[in-house]
Amino acid sequence: MKVRERLNQYFEEQGIGKPDGWFAMSVGGKRIRLFPQGPLRPLLLLHDVHHLYTGYGTGLGGEAEILAWELGSGGFRKYWFAWLDVGKILGLALLF
């Protein structure tokens, strides 16, 4: 199975739906489209692949775990704008 196929399957399992170029969240089982991914698309794809490989969920706790894992494994490299998530990482870590 190709990574893209496994990602699509994972999104379905998590109740997120197939990616459509929008940053979206599942709230109460309903998919809410927030904003277009634009230049974040390569980073978000990599982030989603990290969910596959680590097994961390997509809830708040899983997002805290995956963001901390990404930071601890070398950060976000050329995606300088992703470093803005460090505040979110710290906030989620305090909650969990």
43-85 pLDDT, tens digit each: 888 888 888 888 888 777 888 888 888 878 877 777 766 666 6
Strand partners for 24: 33
pLDDT at 32 exceeding the cut of 70:
yes
Residue 66: name the closest of 81, 78, 52 by CA: 52
The C-alpha atoms of residue 78 and residue 58 are separated, in whole angstroms, by 24
DSSP H or E stretch at residue 36 = strand 30-36
pLDDT at 86 exceeding the cut of 70:
no
* Angle, in degrees to the nearest 10, between helices 41-54 and 60-72: 100
At 76, the amino acid letter reads: F
At 24, the amino acid letter reads: A
